[in-house]
């Protein structure tokens, strides 16, 4: 059987099998009502299952890299991390940093006047 004939028959039997299974009837009853040979039905069901299985195998065993592809090299670069005193990295980037001894105050342009007054009071209290 040539490939085109095989493909056409596979499509026909796929539709027949789907129709039979969707009917909800016992297979033998459906075969009699539709004039389908049970031997042909089970033969084509086996053929279609095998082809589906082989197709799945081919798709899962396809190499990610073509065999004749040129190998590439990968360069690695060491990235040195700076030591931060806080354990959690914060996306906060201050606009102003005031340092006095071991104390530092980091302030954003979006800080409210109320917050600045509190910080000002704290800095006076701590003698910054």
Report the distance separating Cα 2 and Cα 48, nearest Å. 16
Q: Give the model's pLDDT for residue 128.
A: 46
Q: Give the model's pLDDT for residue 91.
A: 74
Please state the pTM of the whole predicted model.
Answer: 0.45
Give the pair of three-digit tokens for residue 108.
Answer: 């954003």
SS3 99: strand
Q: Please choose, from the candidates 44, 45, 17, the residue with its C-alpha nearest in 3D space to the C-alpha of residue 31.
A: 17
Q: Give the model's pLDDT for residue 111.
A: 80
Q: Give the model's pLDDT for residue 26.
A: 94
Q: How many Cβ atoms are within 10 Å of 105's Cβ, its own excluded? A: 16
Report the distance separating Cα 99 and Cα 78, nearest Å. 32
Element (H, E) at 81: none
Length of the chain (residues)? 128
Report the distance separating Cα 65 and Cα 88, nearest Å. 40
Q: Give the model's pLDDT for residue 118.
A: 76
| pLDDT tens for each residue of the chain, 128 residues long | 788 999 999 999 999 999 999 999 999 999 999 999 999 999 999 999 998 888 888 777 656 556 666 666 666 667 777 665 555 556 777 888 888 888 878 888 888 888 777 767 655 544 54
Q: Give the model's pLDDT for residue 25.
A: 93
Give domain limits for the chain.
Answer: 3-61, 93-123
Report the distance separating Cα 43 and Cα 68, nearest Å. 40
Give the pair of three-digit tokens for residue 106.
Answer: 């980091």
Q: Give the model's pLDDT for residue 86.
A: 53
């Amino acid at each position: 059987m040539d490939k085109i004939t095989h493909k056409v028959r596979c499509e026909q039997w796929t539709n027949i099998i789907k129709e039979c299974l969707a009917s909800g009837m016992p297979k033998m009853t459906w075969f009699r009502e539709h004039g389908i040979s049970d031997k042909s039905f089970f033969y084509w069901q086996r053929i279609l299952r095998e082809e589906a299985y082989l197709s799945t195998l081919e798709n899962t065993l396809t190499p990610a890299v073509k065999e004749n592809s040129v190998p590439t090299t990968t360069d690695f670069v060491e990235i040195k991390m700076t030591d931060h005193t806080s354990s959690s990295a914060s996306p906060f980037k201050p606009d102003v940093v005031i340092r006095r001894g071991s104390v530092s105050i980091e302030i954003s342009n979006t800080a409210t006047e109320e917050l600045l007054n509190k910080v000002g009071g704290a800095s006076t209290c701590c003698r910054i």
